[in-house]
Chain A
Amino acid sequence: MEYLLETRDIIKRFGGLTAVDRVSVGVRRGEALALVGDNGAGKSTLIKMISGVYLPDGGAILIEGRPTRIGSPMDALAAGIETIYQDLALAENLDVGANIFLGRERTKRRLGVLQVLDDRSMAAEAQKVLDRLDIHIPSLRATIRTLSGGQRQAVAISRSIYWDAKVLIMDEPTAALGIAEQRKVLSLVRTLKDQGLGIIIISHQMYDVFEVADRIAVMRRGAMVGERLVKETTPDEVVGLIVGSETVASGAAKGGATA
């Protein structure tokens, strides 16, 4: 199946350092790709090129097979690529509906000329998208400040979905969450896959990766060092790839399997 989003030989240099070195990777519709690697492996830089924060120094980004220039975060959003950052970028003093529609507020006309915020319709739309993703939030009128970490994550994700994200990039989605909330976010990721989104997850949590991802791409020192299907690999092998002892690790994994 064709990739929804892919990079081909993409490169990013910072001065003498090549942070991302000819990386080719892609995600399909309805698939979750886990991007793993040690700190400084180039995951974040790769993601920032896809989400329009950095401009690549070489290579190409293709969306549904077409080479696409992503020159700014707005270009990425317009192309349907949404990034959920760790700090979530929500206005904590505003309610759920206001956050989902932030910067794109709905208005209605009053007295012919006045453009008045249509909070009721925004709340109704917010409720629809939350229902679609099976997310439960006690009150839509509650400000983000009163929500738990997982609920905030869910609001941030709902916001992306509402605005027709095709590809969702999640940076450490379960970091700073309690166990129960982590499970909810992971089940949300499965729901999103079922709805045909392509998902890229950056995570250090091997458990999360094996729980929701279909494929794992491993980066080390800016290069792509391996790609494995989740059902054909083990955490040990992936850790081996991350730290750079894949031959040993895969040997050990095979040995373990036969023993």
Chain B
Amino acid sequence: MQTARENGLAPTGTRIRAFLGGRWILAFLLIETVYFCLTAQGFAHPNSAQILLFYGVEIFLLAVAELFVIVTGGIDLSVGYVLGFASIIATKVINGLAEAGVPPLAALLAGAAATLLLGLIPGLVNGWLVAYLDVPPFIATLSMLGVCHGVSELVIHGVYAMGLPPLAAEVGSGHLLYWARGGAVSFFTRPEVERGTEVLELVPLIVVLAAIVIGVLAFVLARTRFGRHVYAIGGSRDAAVRAGIPVRRRLLGVYALSSLLASLAGLVYALKYVSGKADAGASSLLDSIAAVMIGGASMFGGSGTVGRTMVGCLVIAVLELGLRMSGTPTFDKYILVGAILVLAVIVERYLQADGK
């Protein structure tokens, strides 16, 4: 062992593990996809990819939010209800402005800005509690979950928030590119075509938006000082403090970012479903944490990447769509996500057994 290390050559077992480390979940995703292509009718269609991204977009955003927090060694349980809270704020504000006579586009932009600004508040409180008052992340964000749920219900009195202008739906369900059979290609808006002409819709706008945001954050985590500090804090908070990293400020930033992303997910939800409700993201919490874990991050912090988290999200999204298209009840998905999560953690532990 010792000599192998000194030669710079790891023993065979370690090398196999290292090779599998980043790839087994990708293999799992591939097998899963092939399975559904063979068994679920209609799954083997290029459009499936688009559909699962469109419906999974909130999970992708929440998972990235969760990833940053989990890399620091924390957890953010509030993201689901921050999403719900944001979906209500977005709906209410955009609706209110539109009814007051503000042009739809202006109402939409102002509503989006208001949602993201208000959505920062839960994260700032979480971050302040965790970083400056040393409240355990689990407790701080669990409390915030309750607060967001309660405030949301107070705002809407137990019903849905509704009544968005048509433009909201056009953005929420719109696509980047439309291609009418016969040649006409147009961006953003559906081309005027004769009845019966098939129009291909390519790349939902909200998926484009999420992809840009997630791309930027992948860069931030992997290639900037902020990202490096996030890993260092999760690896050893002591080392980070002694290295002069402003640990408390970084933690505040991470929880604020988490909440901001959850709010963006809430805004996306509101545009997509043209409504807002308190528990809009309640079931997304489990999925987002599961995606991060399936992507190989450690619950204790210090590891995990955006790319692998995306693979984790895809594992869940493919499962969801595949089961739905096979006609299986949704509850099966919960059971399977739970099972895959446990499997992932066990496999990761086995693969890393050599590291420590």
Contact = CB atoms under 8 A, between A and B. Distances in A.
B353 to A, nearest CB: 12
Interface stretch (B114-122, B225-233, B317-325): B225-233
Chain A interface, DSSP helix/strand/loop, else mixed: loop
A102 B243 contact: yes
Interface stretch (A85-93, A201-209, A217-225): A85-93
A243 interface: no
Contact of B224 (A87, A93, A104, A115): A115
B6 interface: yes
A116 interface: yes
A103 B234 contact: no
Nearest to A74: B244
B195 interface: no
B8 interface: yes
Given A98-B228, A105-B225, A89 B239 contact: yes
A115 B220 CA distance: 10
Interface string B1-31: 0100111100000000000000000000000
A117 interface: yes
B303 to A, nearest CB: 6
Chain B interface, DSSP helix/strand/loop, else mixed: helix
A258 interface: no
Contact of B235 (A77, A91, A117): A91
Contacts of A77: 244
B45 interface: no
B39 interface: no
Contacts of A255: none
B236 to A, nearest CB: 5
Contacts of B2: 148
A68 interface: no
Contacts of A117: 223-225, 227-228
Interface in B200-248: 223-225, 227-229, 231-232, 234-236, 238-240, 242-245
A73 to B, nearest CB: 7
B235 A104 contact: no
Contact of B236 (A74, A90, A136): A90
Interface string A90-126: 1111100011001111010000000111000000000
B219 to A, nearest CB: 8
Interface footprint category on B: 20 to 34
A116 B8 CA distance: 29
Contacts of A88: 239
Interface stretch (A138-146, A164-172, A234-242, A244-252): A138-146
Given A89-B239, A93-B303, A148-B2, A102 B224 contact: no
B225 A107 contact: yes
A88 B239 CA distance: 8
Contact of A115 (B225, B229, B239): B225
A100 B232 CA distance: 12
A136 B2 CA distance: 14
A103 B6 CA distance: 29
A35 B194 CA distance: 91
A98 B228 CA distance: 8
A117 B230 CA distance: 14
B5 A102 contact: no
Interface centre among A89, A103, A105, A146 (most CB of B within 10 A): A103
A143 to B, nearest CB: 8
A102 B225 contact: no
B266 interface: no
A104 B244 CA distance: 8
Contacts of B239: 88-91, 99, 102
A91 B356 contact: no
A73 B227 CA distance: 25
Given A89-B243, A116-B224, A138 B238 contact: no
B236 A91 contact: yes
Given A90-B236, A91-B240, A102-B243, A148 B228 contact: no
A254 B160 CA distance: 94
Contacts of B355: 143, 145-146
B235 A103 contact: no
Nearest to A88: B239
A138 B231 CA distance: 23
B281 interface: no
B302 interface: yes
A148 B355 CA distance: 11
Given A91-B231, A117-B223, A103 B243 contact: yes
A91 B6 CA distance: 21
B243 A145 contact: no
B246 to A, nearest CB: 9
15 contacts: A88-B239, A89-B236, A89-B239, A91-B243, A93-B231, A94-B231, A98-B228, A102-B243, A102-B245, A103-B240, A105-B228, A117-B227, A138-B5, A148-B2, A148-B5
Given A91-B231, A103-B245, A145-B355, 19 more contacts: A74-B244, A87-B238, A88-B239, A89-B242, A90-B236, A91-B235, A93-B234, A93-B302, A93-B303, A94-B235, A98-B232, A102-B232, A107-B225, A115-B225, A136-B6, A138-B6, A138-B7, A143-B355, A146-B5
CB-CB nearest 8 A-B residue pairs: A103-B243, A138-B8, A91-B235, A93-B235, A93-B302, A102-B243, A103-B244, A89-B239
Interface of B: 2, 5-8, 223-225, 227-229, 231-232, 234-236, 238-240, 242-245, 302-303, 355-356
